[in-house]
Structure 1
Amino acid sequence: MSGIDIIGAFESTYLPRHDTDIFESTAHDVQWKQDLGLLTSCGVTRLRYPVRWHRVEAEEGLFNWQDTDKVLHYLRDHGFRPIVDLVHHTSYPRWMDGGFADPRFRTAYLRYTEEFARRYPWIEEYTLFNEPFSTLFLTGHEAIWPPYQKGLDNFVAQILNVLPAVAEASRAYKDVLPDAKHVWVDTCEHHTGEGPGGSAYATMANERRFLVLDSFLGKGYDPHGPMAELLREAGGEKLQDLEPGRIDVLGMDYYAHCQWHFDDSGGSPNTPYPLPLAQQIYLYWDRYRLPCLLTETNVRGSTSDRATWFKYVLEQCERAREMGVPLEGLCWFPVIDSTDWNTLLYRSDGHIDPVGVYWLDDELARQPSVMSESYAKAAAGTPSNELPAFTLGEPVATWLRGYEPQMSHWNRAPAPDADQGNSLPNTKTRMELRIVNAE
């Protein structure tokens, strides 16, 4: 028995400029009951599930909980254990046109989180703000998501606009939901470098990955560290004095592109020297000493590629537990294919993102595969060494080339011809932190 709790999830990110979300583009908004049935068939009862603030409060100050009531009450009445996700990436109301830089954020967010807690006092686990580091990095540092700001000064300003409100909500929830756990969810990163410039940037990035969580916990940042001077110039000294929030469980989101490699010519998300995930989990646990979850992982590829990556991540989670990490569960995110991540949500074409446990065909019908078979086996307690591994196809084989030494002890089967999935990436696709083919 692996002893790792297998967790489900559904993608819901809102695209403010298009006024649509991924619940709607994948038809989960109308097929949610059937989709939850897929989880039941796999033996999975614990799941990350979002509340769509952008639909609940479509008009400022007016809350419509009707759709949320239906799903959350169904989850409660049918034995599911939701980790309720209150803000997933850019899923804020459209009237907040400044996004996470909007001066109205604190008041609106605290009003919303209070309304939620008083309406659903039986919730046992919640995430107050999904991936604050990576979300605010994309909205405030890289100008990829609205409000399309760029640079460290804007990144810091958005952190200072968002984090105190989230910390305040976490403290309030200790009183309003005293028996519920706050599951902090953010990316689990590690970076490598070579050459003077690349090594220096990797050192800085390995410091930066902890900036938001350390600030949330009232620890600030190392005033003598590799980011200190940059942060001082960007107004970051205010991060040193934030009133701390509270966390019960550390959730780590891990993808192959969470490990970048830098040299003097730039960076690539396909590092040739990936740290084994188990060691990476241990580093985060050793820093924060909290119970842990692996709250997201997937790979964009055929269903056999996904099953192979799932085997790797489960094996690494088992090893992390053997190293002493109190790792409670593993979440493959999401259960069904997502949409429009090929342009990092810049466009809204309904383009299927081939990452789910179940893949979507052209009619958005949910299709089983070798991935869903492995997922159900793991949920039943099958350890990683009894799950199949397959020969990786392109471009996943190239993306994961650095991981091959960590997988060399496996016996692999040829990838099956059937159940390959939809909208598979072509061999020239690269995993990059930028808008790909957006125009």
Structure 2
Amino acid sequence: MSEAGRPLEIIGGFESTFMPAHDRDIFETTEHDLRWREDLGLLSRSGITRLRYPVRWHRIEEVEGSYDWSSTDEVMAYLRNEGFRPIVDLVHHTSYPAWLTDGFADDRFGAAYLRYAEAFARRYPWVEEYTLFNEPFSTLFLCGHEAIWPPYHSGLRGFVDLILNVMPAVATASALYRDLLPDARHVWVDTCEFHTGSDASGQRYADMANYRRFLVIDAFLGRGYDVDSQLGRDLAAVGGERLLSLPTGTIDVLGLDYYAHCQWDFSEAGGTAPTPTPLPLSDQILQYWERYGMPCMLTETNVRGHTADRATWLKYVLEQCEAAQARGVAMDGVCWFPVVDSTDWNSLLFRCEGQVDPVGVYWLDADLRRHTSVMSTSYALAAQGVRSADLPAYRLAEPVATWLQGYRPQMAHWDWQQPPGTDIGSSLPRTTTRMELRIVDAQ
């Protein structure tokens, strides 16, 4: 853990989400399943040994009750022998076996997950850090409230039902790992949110959403919720009191995933992201620190744009994490996610077309070759201990310049540079429209 005033550790990460409808995952669409040695070599040359690394349950147990660990054994042995320190990720979004046909609503999920989790811990007892279930709030919200991912449930009742079907098993796994991996740390990972309202109706919704963001972690820790709040009254109508009696678990590090679209602005007309008046990330981290009092880690961040835009966003988030650290938060590292460009998030994984997402430290061309850039240079410098003040700030290109307009006051003290004209990456978002997270894109 970084002490106050010391450089923050830079952490790597690889995207692996499984798309059950297509029987493909992002390891495969980015060819990390074939190029993993090359990709880990990129990390190593950047000076990084600690990384979030997914375990592909959907490939390990393609046949119910039958585990194939061969590929996992190979990678895990390599990580250990080469001195990497993985934070293993047991379930990343919808990365469950396809035979769980109802996904997180499947009655078989809890027992199957616990068998898999126990088998993993017994096979790799040397693991030092683990994430039992990635982004439980946002994953179950998109699956159960917004009907974006399977099982495509909607509304608050659908959300609560999925929490009740999934989180008891995660809590049981938490206790199990205390016995099987007593020296390892549970890194809870979820979105770092804060919302605003531009009229009275929008502010009421933002207030509710700012309380709702803590619902799953509070249930996991046995903290409950305020039954007299707006959210509490809404939950009463859908049997939300069932959340008050869930089994509880333990957390060692609070991982916060932060993107500009984690801050929405609401009004009678609906919601847009990001809000035009974003709260500084350091203030958001402080909110979580003051609520839970446990070490914090920035476990995901990126921005879709030119490689120079990504380098500038890295400067911003690193500066904000340094500011949180200076204010007394025990910061345990900063993870840009992912190391190489991901794919198909332009449709929120509804389609599987291999469309490259321009978000990585290393960018992918049409043949999925990995390329360095000003982003990978800044990333390596940060890994060497260079502070945010000494990283370059490149003038933002469109559409990122418009997308991040509300952040400009927080960046006003920077000395801006002109980005190199040829160092842009590939598969860039349209430059004629404002970038927004639009759920309709997934329909």
User: Matched residue pairs, number?
Assistant: 438
What residue number does 2:22 align with? 18
What residue number does 2:167 align with? 163
* Structure 2 letter corresponding to 1:50: P
Query: Secondary structure of the residue that 1:267 maps to in structure 2?
Result: strand
What residue number does 1:242 align with? 246
What residue number does 1:32 align with? 36
Structure 1 unaligned segments of length 5 or more: list them.
none
**Residues 138 and 287 of structure 1, relative CA distance in 2, 3 Å threshold:** same
Matched, 1:346 2:350: yes
Query: Secondary structure of the residue that 2:230 maps to in structure 1?
Result: coil
Q: Deviations over 1:258-302 (max 9, x none)?
A: 000111211111211100000100100110011110000000000
Matched, 1:412 2:407: no
Alpha-carbon RMSD across the aligned residues, in angstroms, is 0.9
Q: Deviations over 1:238-273 (max 9, x none)?
A: 111112111111000000000001112111112111
* Structure 1 letter corresponding to 2:193: E
Matched, 1:67 2:71: yes
Query: Secondary structure of the residue that 1:12 maps to in structure 2?
Result: coil
> 1:149, CA displacement in angstroms?
1.0
Query: Secondary structure of the residue that 1:290 maps to in structure 2?
Result: coil
What residue number does 1:295 align with? 299
What residue number does 2:133 align with? 129
> 1:178, CA displacement in angstroms?
0.3
* Structure 1 letter corresponding to 2:331: L
> 1:3, CA displacement in angstroms?
1.3
* Structure 2 letter corresponding to 1:213: I
Matched, 1:272 2:265: no
> 1:346, CA displacement in angstroms?
0.3
What residue number does 1:385 align with? 389
Matched, 1:45 2:72: no
What residue number does 1:321 align with? 325
Is the CA contact 2:262–2:274 (under 8 Å) kept in the aligned structure 1?
Answer: no
Alpha-carbon distance in structure 2 between the residues aligned to 1:79 and 1:281 = 30
What residue number does 2:371 align with? 367
Of the three residues 179, 182, 199, the one matched with 1:175 is 179
Is the CA contact 1:253–1:297 (under 8 Å) kept in the aligned structure 2?
Answer: yes
Alpha-carbon distance in structure 1 between the residues aligned to 2:302 and 2:287 = 21
* Structure 2 letter corresponding to 1:347: R
Alpha-carbon distance in structure 2 between the residues aligned to 1:76 and 1:128 = 20
Is the CA contact 1:207–1:226 (under 8 Å) kept in the aligned structure 2?
Answer: no
Is the CA contact 2:289–2:329 (under 8 Å) kept in the aligned structure 1?
Answer: yes
> 1:328, CA displacement in angstroms?
1.2
What residue number does 1:203 align with? 207
Query: Secondary structure of the residue that 1:71 maps to in structure 2?
Result: helix
Q: Percent same amino acid among aligned pairs?
A: 64
Q: TM-score, normalised by structure 2?
A: 0.98
> 1:430, CA displacement in angstroms?
2.6
Structure 2 unaligned segments of length 5 or more: list them.
none
What residue number does 1:356 align with? 360
Alpha-carbon distance in structure 2 between the residues aligned to 1:136 and 1:201 = 20
What residue number does 1:284 align with? 288
> 1:38, CA displacement in angstroms?
0.1
Query: Secondary structure of the residue that 1:227 maps to in structure 2?
Result: helix
Alpha-carbon distance in structure 2 between the residues aligned to 1:10 and 1:433 = 24
* Structure 1 letter corresponding to 2:192: C
Matches within 5 A, 1:223-234: 223-234=227-238
Alpha-carbon distance in structure 1 between the residues aligned to 2:31 and 2:423 = 21
Alpha-carbon distance in structure 1 between the residues aligned to 2:390 and 2:440 = 38
- Give the 4+ runs in structure 1 shifted more than 6 A: none
Is the CA contact 1:2–1:383 (under 8 Å) kept in the aligned structure 2?
Answer: no
Query: Secondary structure of the residue that 1:299 maps to in structure 2?
Result: coil
Alpha-carbon distance in structure 1 between the residues aligned to 2:318 and 2:118 = 36
What residue number does 1:425 align with? 429
Q: Deviations over 1:297-338 (max 9, x none)?
A: 000000000000000000000000000000010000000000
Is the CA contact 1:305–1:396 (under 8 Å) kept in the aligned structure 2?
Answer: yes
Alpha-carbon distance in structure 1 between the residues aligned to 2:381 and 2:438 = 33
Alpha-carbon distance in structure 1 between the residues aligned to 2:264 and 2:438 = 10
> 1:435, CA displacement in angstroms?
4.1
Matched, 1:434 2:439: yes
Query: Secondary structure of the residue that 1:374 maps to in structure 2?
Result: helix
Alpha-carbon distance in structure 2 between the residues aligned to 1:172 and 1:435 = 40
Is the CA contact 2:208–2:230 (under 8 Å) kept in the aligned structure 1?
Answer: yes
Q: Deviations over 1:370-407 (max 9, x none)?
A: 00000000000000000000111111111111100000
Alpha-carbon distance in structure 2 between the residues aligned to 1:309 and 1:62 = 43
* Structure 1 letter corresponding to 2:127: I
Is the CA contact 2:402–2:434 (under 8 Å) kept in the aligned structure 1?
Answer: no
What residue number does 2:406 align with? 402
Alpha-carbon distance in structure 1 between the residues aligned to 2:16 and 2:417 = 34
Is the CA contact 2:400–2:435 (under 8 Å) kept in the aligned structure 1?
Answer: no
Is the CA contact 2:321–2:331 (under 8 Å) kept in the aligned structure 1?
Answer: yes
Alpha-carbon distance in structure 2 between the residues aligned to 1:60 and 1:140 = 24
Alpha-carbon distance in structure 2 between the residues aligned to 1:15 and 1:435 = 18
